[in-house]
A = this chain, B = another copy of it.
Amino acid sequence: MSPVPFARYLAMNKISNIKRYHIAKVYRRDQPVMTRGRYREFYQCDFDIAGQYDPMIPEAECLKIVDEVLSKLEIGEFQVKLNHRLILEGMFAACGAGADQFKTVCSSVDKLDKQPWAEVEDELIKEKGLAKESTEKLGQFVRLREFNQSMGNIELLDKLMQFEELAKNARFKKGVEELKVLVNYCSLFGIESVRFDPSLARGLDYYTGAIYEAVVPKALEGVNLEANGEEQKGLPVGVGSVAAGGRYDELVGNFMAPVGSKGKEKRQDVPCVGISFGIERLFAIMEAKMQIEQLPVRTTETEIFIASAQKNLLQERMKLCKTLWDEGFKVEFAYKANPKLLTQLQYCEDRLIPLALIVGERELQEGVVKLRNVKTRAEQDVALSDLVSTLRSALSS
């Protein structure tokens, strides 16, 4: 949903050139089916590039971002489905669907990832008024990825071009040529997750060129969804579209008054391309993964805990803490005048704080402090003069 507010922002502020990311709440305009996890208010992270550039270069950067983000989040195997509005238009036209039927045919085809073709075809005939011979032809086109799972993107594009009725459609041809350029840029960027899929048909209200959607087919596999009520949260196993976007070249112009003298008005368009991540869905997948793997989770960023071995060492702990804060370390200590040593060390273990520094009377006299590796429980004396460098190397190892 986010291209709309972004486009309005560009139009209101007369911005024709920007690259930005944004994490915030977005709001759906339509009536979401809330039992299926579609909320009216939710968090999203958007990347968008606005401006007049050479074809497919900003698209490639958006796909690089999806690829990099989803790889780094370690949510398991994912794919980024890729398609193009002109390819969809060409396919539908070749099947005899009129331009006025474009959106409604799209909305049926878009259900192919959740419904079998027979149901989609039934809808196309009974509700959308397509003839059986049209849907049969359409099925051949949009199911081409389904029947050629392991085929390369360029090969699949070429295979579609072998249909004579598609090859002679100028819009379709342009769509194919653009995607070939984009697929080439993706390999330059080292992106392996992109998969051309002629059945992808989403968000076509405003997308004008390339469109893409990231899916995590095995997300939540093995999670007991019913037990923790996840199903109500709308994340059935194997669905999980976690990011989506595309090119929307005409949206900004919608929000701007035409310029020029009367009768010669010109629309001012700002070409845009973007990608939006569904943050709550990604969190749900990551939480489920942690639940399955039973990994301990750090709930604090504290790197070093300053503990005391005897009573009356609060001032020493505070002084040491100041020194380390000033050096940029993430440090905490117990807010008690005389905490017990075991309680302090237990706190470190519970919170997975990697290092503890133990201040004691003997140590103070000798000008040292005891450094404890919380996990291995190994301890060593460190001279105060060496403390900062010792901590830095202990934390970076």
Contact = CB atoms under 8 A, between A and B. Distances in A.
B190 A335 contact: no
A226 interface: no
Given A188-B319, A189-B318, A325 B57 contact: no
Interface residues of A, number: 26
Nearest to A318: B188
Instruction: Name which of A64, A188, A190 has the most chain B CB atoms within 10 A of its CB.
Output: A188
A352 B394 CA distance: 36
Interface string A310-323: 00001100110110
If over half of A's interface residues share one DSSP class (helix, strand or loop), that class is named, otherwise mixed; here it is helix
Contacts of A185: 318
A48 B297 CA distance: 23
Interface string A17-29: 0010000000000
A314 B54 CA distance: 11
A229 to B, nearest CB: 18
A60 interface: yes
Nearest to A326: B190
Contacts of A57: 314, 318, 335-336
A322 to B, nearest CB: 5
Interface in A187-226: 188-190
A42 interface: no
A350 to B, nearest CB: 12
A319 B185 CA distance: 9
Given A68-B325, A322-B64, A315 B54 contact: no
A58 interface: yes
A110 to B, nearest CB: 30
Interface in A273-312: none
A307 to B, nearest CB: 15
A51 interface: yes
A377 to B, nearest CB: 25
A337 interface: yes
A185 B315 CA distance: 8
A53 interface: yes
Nearest to A335: B53
A64 B335 contact: no
Nearest to A51: B335
Contact of A54 (B60, B190, B335): B335
A314 B332 CA distance: 50
B54 A318 contact: no
B336 A190 contact: no
B188 A315 contact: yes
A188 B326 CA distance: 13
Nearest to A53: B335
Contacts of A54: 314, 335-337
Nearest to A68: B325
Interface string A48-70: 01010110011010001000100
Contacts of A188: 315, 318-319, 322
Nearest to A57: B335
A58 B189 contact: no
A48 to B, nearest CB: 13
Nearest to A320: B188
Given A58-B335, A335-B58, A322 B190 contact: yes
27 contacts: A19-B332, A49-B335, A51-B335, A53-B335, A53-B336, A54-B314, A54-B335, A54-B336, A54-B337, A57-B314, A57-B318, A57-B335, A57-B336, A58-B335, A60-B318, A64-B322, A64-B325, A68-B325, A185-B318, A188-B315, A188-B318, A188-B322, A189-B318, A189-B321, A189-B322, A190-B322, A190-B326
